[in-house]
Amino acid sequence: MKSTPQKIEETEKKLKGLKDQLKKETDKTEWLYISELKIEVQTKIHHKDKTYAECEKDLSKGESIPTYEQIQWLRNSKYRNQLNLLDTWEFVQNPDDISKKNNYVAGFCAGSDYANLDCDWDADYSDSALGVRFVRKKISGKSR
């Protein structure tokens, strides 16, 4: 028979797991289908003030952090306003192999008149304004 402190500890673990699951489900935003790229992309960034690794850990099956090329293409497309890509600061996959080997992560920053890719951020870096959006291949059967 379990003692009361053991039962409390188990219940607290279960509660933490449920809270984490709820946060993961509610942190994510709506998806927008991009027919030209055959992907769905989240309309808003989330996971602000989290490290790249924390963002990666919350990827669901089939999701990924976008590449720089995907974000840059979207910024120059008709979807830029819908995705708020004229004013964003978000993680992207690091396209530079040397930087990745040195444990650096990449971020994309854009304003109305500029865009910048940085591939030399410390892997433990986070900021209250920095977030991520996820992309995935189109889920068949879902209407858009």
- Within 10 angstroms of residue 136's Cβ, the number of other Cβ atoms is 16
Q: Tell me, what's the pLDDT at 89? A: 96
Q: Tell me, what's the pLDDT at 142? A: 53
State the average pLDDT over residues 13-34.
Answer: 74
DSSP H helical ranges for 1-141 = 4-27, 52-57, 68-75, 97-101
Per-residue pLDDT of 60-109, as tens digits, reads 999 999 999 999 999 999 999 999 999 999 999 999 999 989 999 999 99
CA distance 69 to 66: 8
> Is residue 144 pLDDT above 50, yes or no?
no
**Phi and psi dihedrals of 121, rounded to 5?**
-85, 140
- 3-state SS string over 118-130? EEEEECCCCCCCC
Please give the model's pTM, rounded to 2 decimal places.
0.76
> Does the domain made of 4-137 have the CATH classification 1.10.287?
no
Domain ranges of the chain: 4-137
> Is residue 40 pLDDT above 90, yes or no?
yes
- Of 44, 141, 65, the closest CA to residue 107 belongs to 65
